[in-house]
A and B are shown apart, each in its own frame.
Chain A
Amino acid sequence: MRKLKVITLEDDVDAVVRSLDEAGIVQFIDMREKVEEWNGILASQVVSTEVLTKCSDLLSKIDASFENLGLKHEELHSKKIPITKEPIEEVLAKVEQNLAELPVEALTKCSALTSRITQLIEILGVKPEEIKEVILKKPVEESLAEIEYELSEIEKTAETTGLIDRHAMVDRIKTVAAREEIDVHKKLAEFARVRIIESKPFFAKRLLTLKKLVEKARESIEAETKLGKTHESLLTLRKIVEIEKQVAEEQKKFVRSAKTIYFEAWVSEYNVKEAIERITKVTAGTSIVTDDPPAPDEKVPIILKPVPNYLIAFEKLVYSFGHPTSRDVNPIHALAITFPILFGIMFADVGQGAIFVIMGIILTLLRRRIKLEEVGDIIQYLLISGEMFVFLGISSIFFGFVFGEFFGPSGLIHPISLGKIGPFYIGGFEPTHEPMKMLKFAIFVGAIHISLGLVFRFVNEIRHKHYKLAPIPICWLWLLIGSLYMWAYWRGISNISKWFADGSLMLAGLIILPLTFILVFTGIAEGFMEGVGFSVEVFAETLSHSMSYSRLMALGLIHAETLSHSMSYSRLMALGLIHSAMNYLFLVLAGVEHGYFPLASIPLIAIGTLLVMIIEGLVVFVHTLRLHWVEWFSKFHTGEGIPFKPFKYT
């Protein structure tokens, strides 16, 4: 990312912005907040409200024309709008003039007439037939007026006579014939000879002729105007006005002296050259352009790489919290792994996991057929998260096998042990029967999760070149793993007196040493007093913040509190048990025993599953999200990044 600094003449600035808008490669920096820094040398650029009002005016006028003509707002792809060097005011004036020249009124009349005739044709049930070429005998406006008059006559006749009154018909024919300069007597004689007036065909023919006349009128109107087809010119005008409006809005970010304008903009490394070329070309060399790398601690917008379809839901979860800052680790890929794991631990169930997988596959298939814009909000979210449901379901199935759950602890599947690390059993037990094992497992998972966060923090510090801060997360990691090891080695917090007596050397190595290092490194990086302040802060935070369970455990404070702070990840256990218990409730009600599902139990199990999957599923989802947002992101993901949104006409 590079920073462009541009000084240009006042007269050129509109063209410069237009040119950059066309390329869509720069993001203008709002300079208004920095105006004070220049001590009155520069003032903020004031965009006159007249311009903006005129833009809105013109837009609403154009929209009204669209509505009157019954035309649609289509995207205008084909036509490229040339970049002019004129100021916005002149461009808008031209647009207004062009708009006035457009024969909108006459065309509106044409559309109205066409629709009236079509309606009448439908009512009378006239079959379409070939009409010989018609010629407009008078100027378009007059012809239209005549056609309208005749049409209303026909309408009246159709209403009053129902097309069967011969006398009335003869009168009408007389008037019509008189206007069309047909020999009335000859016509009437014809009718008299035939005796029966075939009124309907006559009107039908007349109506079709009128329709043709209107079409002709329309064609000639469009042919007369210089601007070509009205629809397209309206679209073009609309686009011009919209661009001008954006150009004007964007200029609010600039600052100016008496005759020159100064602005700064972000541009990616690849596009620097093009941006500079464009500015120089438009201003014919009368501008000063420099490009600099961003200052070390400046907030640089980040270019967000598009993620594959199956990660979109996870991307949304991360970006709802906030965007990563430039150079930070983007946690989407890691989250796509940890999120299902934590969800699966809380929602461990083979049967319900399988339902999630099926649901996910169906949603994914549906998404290809349904247009996302056409469905409601909730359906849209469901469709987007199709693949995520598959991920979550697979994880649920996996942990269902580990904890032996099939639609609850039905006894159909027996828990499968994945091994044992110290006092931590990974699977091989039923959480409802051995909640303490589950609690230890939950804390173990939490420690791994937090460690991952600390590693990311380390990577971030290195990427930001904060080498003095980089050792701190490593020390935290040391502290976390060390205290966990001590906790495991001395069989829990209840033997804390032994930590200090027999294990004093271990305590020094695993806990006091990293703590000291943390103090020292913070002192080096931030100054000694900040180091002390920071450690006090950490202490206070440790007391109040559940995420820091490890830190507090390390400090070896009163074990009840330590225990209470280890609880953030203990919700893995709590919610896992709740899930199991809720399912168990329905298993008991349905009379399922020892893995045998009687036929009569199935409806009740189905209702239970539905309830559990909707209510409990939502609760578990939100808790998983919370563990990530609060406990995990607080380690490395500040969410303060600004996405790079280049200025471009949309």
Chain B
Amino acid sequence: MDPGFISLMGIVLAIGVPIISAAITIITCGTALAGIGTERPELLSKLIITVVLGEALAIYGLLIAFMLLSKLSDITTMEAANKALISGIIIAVATISAGAGISYNGSSLIGATAEKPETFSSNVIGVVLSEALAIYGLLIAFMIIGQI
């Protein structure tokens, strides 16, 4: 197969899937946030963390896609192309997992905080730990790109 095409597939995965994960996360958490905002508007500024962390997933994908794009002219061998594809897959899988975690934990966090604001500091851990998953994937994808 053509190395150029394979690396382009990597870019597609690297930008497309994180964006979908971010969208799903923002949809779940954003709607929950809107619902709570009518009852407890004072909590919104605190709970917006869920939406922002969801949005960050798309930025991670953007970073990897952008790094791959800048390396596109260097990719001539199949090995390099495979690395590009794999790094795309890694960030895709990592952001999907993180997205799933943030959507579930985030919407529960929002509901729970509206009921009992003092539980926020312990409940937020689920969201931030899910978000850390994406960072792990990002780092490994980043290191693989570094080897191209």
The one of A381, A544, A622, A639 in contact with B121, judged by C-beta atoms closer than 8 angstroms, is A639
Quick one: given A322-B118, A570-B135, A616-B59, are A625 and B49 in contact (CB under 8 Å)?
yes
Q: How many residues of A contact B (CB 8 A)?
A: 36
Assess whether A320 is in contact with B128, with CB atoms less than 8 Å apart: no
Could you say which residues of chain A place their CB within 8 Å of the CB of B132?
546, 567-568, 571
Task: Give every chain A residue within 8 A of B104 (Cβ-Cβ).
Answer: none
- Say how far A618's CB is from chain B's closest CB, in angstroms: 6
A623 to chain B: closest residue by CB: B56
Asked if A630 contacts B135 (CB within 8 A), the reply is: no
Nearest-Cβ distance from residue A545 to partner chain B, whole angstroms:
8
Residues of A within 8 A of B52 (CB): 618-619, 622
Of chain B, the residue at the smallest CB distance from A571 is: B135
B138: interface (CB < 8 Å)? yes
Beta-carbon contact of B125 and A630 below 8 Å: yes
Q: Is the interface of A mostly helix, strand, loop or mixed?
A: helix
Indicate whether B66 reaches chain A with its CB closer than 8 angstroms.
Answer: yes
Bound CA–CA A567/B136 (angstroms): 7
- B142 — which chain A residues lie within 8 A by C-beta? 435, 574, 577
Contact B129 A546 (CB under 8 A): yes
Q: A377 an interface residue at 8 Å Cβ cutoff?
A: yes
Per-residue contact bits, chain A 622-633, to B (CB 8 Å; 1 contact, 0 not):
110110011001
Q: Which residues of B contact A544 (CB under 8 A)?
A: 129
Majority-rule SS of B interface residues:
helix
* Interface check A582, CB cutoff 8 A: yes
Shortest C-beta distance, B21 to chain A (Å), equals 15
A386 to chain B, nearest CB (A): 16
Q: Which residues of chain B are within 8 angstroms of A574 by Cβ–Cβ distance?
A: 60, 63, 135, 138-139, 142
Q: Does B67 contact A (CB under 8 A)?
A: yes
A511 to B56, CA, bound (A): 36
Cβ contact of B146, chosen from A435, A584, A615, A639, cutoff 8 A:
A435
Cβ 8 A contact of A578, one of B49, B60, B143: B60
Chain B residues within 8 Å of A564, by CB: 136
A573, A581, A582, A622 pick with most chain B CB within 10 angstroms? A622
Q: Does B124 contact A (CB under 8 A)?
A: yes
Q: Which of A296-347 contact B (CB under 8 A)?
A: 320-322
- Which residue on B lies nearest to A560, using beta carbons? B140
Kindly list chain A residues whose C-beta atoms are within 8 Å of the C-beta of B146: 435-436
Give the 8 A-B residue pairs with the shortest CB-CB distance, closest first. Answer: A622-B52, A578-B63, A619-B56, A639-B121, A546-B132, A626-B128, A321-B121, A630-B128
B interface residue numbers (CB < 8 A to A): 41, 44-46, 49, 52-53, 55-56, 59-60, 62-63, 66-67, 118, 120-121, 124-125, 128-129, 131-132, 135-136, 138-139, 142-143, 146
A-B contact pairs, 5 of them (CB 8 A): A439-B139, A574-B63, A619-B52, A630-B124, A630-B129
